[in-house]
């Protein structure tokens, strides 16, 4: 299992378009990917679920944790973190 932690720098957090981009990125991997809002210390949800991700209420400056398990787990965590660090560019 691969793990990662990243701070969301994007102004609107994981809402609206960034949330959709995040979920689309996660869905492009075979691994089971889960995400949780470490700042709120809340529940874990599937990173491939837009409904799940929206209910985490991730705002700017929140830290999120990601785990991936499967054939492409290392690549998945790397790319998802890069997406957030690069401000969804």
Partner 1 sequence: MIILKGIPASGGIATGPAYVFRHAELGIKRETISDPAAEISRLDSARDIARQQLQTLREKTELEASADEAAIFDAHAMFLDDPSLLELVADAVNNRKLNVEAAWSDGIENFAQQMEMMGDEYLSARAADIRDVGKRVIRILSGQGDTDLSELSAPSIILAQDLTPSDTARLDKNFVLGFATAEGGPTSHTAILAKALGLPAVVGCGPALLEICGGTEMLIHGGKGELIASPDEETKKRYVQLTGEASRMAELELKSAGDHAVTKDGRQVEIVANVGSPSDAVSALKFGAEGIGLLRTEFLYLERTTAPTEEEQLAAYKAVLDVMEKRPVVVRTLDVGGDKQLDYLDLGKEANPFLGWRAIRMCLDKPDFFKIQLRALLRASPGHDLRIMFPMIATLEEVRRSKALLAEARQEVIAAGFPVAENIQVGIMVEIPAAAQMADLFAKEVDFFSIGTNDLTQYTMAAERTSEKMAYLADPCHPAVVRQIKRVIEEGHKAGIWIGVCGEMAGDPEAAPILLGLGLDEFSMAAPSIPHLKAILREWSYANAKKLAEAVINLENGAAVREHVRNFRL
- Give catalytic residue positions: 15
- Write the CB contacts of 74 (distance below 8 Å, at least 6 apart in sequence): 2, 68
To partner 1, the closest distance from the beta carbon of 52 in angstroms equals 4
CA distances from 70 to 1, 31, 45, 46 (A): 7, 4, 17, 14
Question: Which strand ranges, in their side-by-side order, compose the sheet holding 32-37?
Answer: 2-7, 63-69, 32-37, 44-46
To partner 1, the closest distance from the beta carbon of 84 in angstroms equals 11
Residues that bind partner 1 (CB under 8 A): 10-12, 15-18, 20-21, 23, 45-46, 48-52, 54-55, 57, 87-89
To partner 1, the closest distance from the beta carbon of 80 in angstroms equals 15
In the bound state with partner 1, the residue whose beta carbon lies nearer, of 23 and 77, is 23
In the bound state with partner 1, the residue whose beta carbon lies nearer, of 61 and 87, is 87
């Amino acid at each position: 299992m691969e793990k990662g932690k990243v701070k969301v720098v994007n102004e609107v957090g994981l809402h609206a378009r960034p949330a959709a981009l995040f979920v689309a990125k996660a869905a492009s991997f075979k691994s089971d990917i889960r995400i949780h809002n470490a700042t709120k210390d809340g529940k874990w949800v599937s990173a491939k679920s837009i409904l799940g991700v929206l209910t985490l209420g991730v705002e700017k400056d929140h830290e999120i944790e990601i785990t991936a398990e499967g054939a492409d787990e290392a690549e998945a965590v790397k790319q998802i973190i890069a997406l957030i660090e690069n401000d969804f560019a």
